Structure 1
Amino acid sequence: MRVMVLVKATEDSERNILPKRVDLEAMGRFNDELRNAGILRDCDGLKPSSYGKRIAFDGSSRTVIDGPFAQSRELVAGFWLWTVKDMDEAVDWVKRCPNPMPGPSEIEIRPMFESADLE
């Protein structure tokens, strides 16, 4: 099963306040564990939404919307792509993850569509 693990943005991450070096090193060790277990496919952090753009679609019309975007708790600050046996395994790994933010934070796990889901 493939999942995308989403690190939700916080007010700090949207202000471009980066984790401390010790926290980044802990996350690096966690990523090494994921890699060694054969689970990690890709991962990265995202810059604040002020660096981003959204494109709104309405029929043939396209409108570009500049960041920053409202509701930081609804935004994504980083992600992993994992291959796990099931959602329970993904949850177990997330529970082992160091807190990705300096303060309170959330991580969301979303299963990805497989070809069998689309038949």
Structure 2
Amino acid sequence: MRVMVFMKANEDSERGVMPSEEELAAMMAYNEELVKSGIMLAGDGLQPSSKGARVQFSGGSPTVVDGPFTETKEVVAGYWLWQVKSFDEAVEWVKRCPSGGPDFEIEIRPVFEAEDFGDELTPELREKEQQLREQGQQLREQQG
């Protein structure tokens, strides 16, 4: 199963306070463990919400709201995409995450897989989705 793991923002990350060398080394060691275990598919830190925007839709019309966003606990500061055997395995890995400061929160969410959609994801739609994934991969490889 795939899970998306979100490191939630805190006051420091939203102010753009960079981690110390010690904190970076600890996170690098943790990421190395994830890679060596074969579960890490992707992961990155994100810039503060002051450098971002949200696009809200109401009545079918988009409205752009520039950051920063006041509710820090609702902002994502980084993410991982993992392939794990179970949700419990993901929880155990998150419990080993090095400190993101004195107060931080990490959220884990399962990723929808094709079989989760049931009969609504017809064979034609499954084929189209697979073609799009392959096309995207080919483009990334060509762009180098």
Extract unaligned runs of 5+ from structure 1: none
| Cα deviation 1:71-103 (Å, max 9, x = unaligned) | 10111000000000001100111111101x222
Which residue number corresponds to residue 103 of structure 2? 104
Separation of aligned partners in 2, 1:54 and 1:112: 22
Q: Over aligned residues, Cα RMSD in angstroms? A: 0.9
Shift of 1:57: 1.1
Aligned residues: 118
Separation of aligned partners in 2, 1:82 and 1:33: 12
Which residue number corresponds to residue 44 of structure 1? 44
Shift of 1:62: 1.3
More helix by share: 2
Identity across aligned pairs (percent)? 56
Separation of aligned partners in 2, 1:84 and 1:70: 33
Which residue number corresponds to residue 76 of structure 1? 76
Partner of 2:112, secondary structure, is coil
Higher relative contact order (CA 8 A, sep 6+): 1
Shift of 1:25: 0.6
Separation of aligned partners in 2, 1:54 and 1:67: 7
Which residue number corresponds to residue 31 of structure 2? 31
Larger radius of gyration: 2
| Cα deviation 1:25-66 (Å, max 9, x = unaligned) | 110011011000000000000000000011111233111111
Separation of aligned partners in 1, 2:76 and 2:15: 13
One-letter code aligned to 1:74: E
One-letter code aligned to 2:111: M
More strand by share: 1
TM-score by length of 1: 0.95
Which residue number corresponds to residue 118 of structure 1? 117
Separation of aligned partners in 1, 2:60 and 2:104: 38
Extract unaligned runs of 5+ from structure 2: 119-144
Separation of aligned partners in 2, 1:62 and 1:73: 24
Separation of aligned partners in 2, 1:37 and 1:22: 23
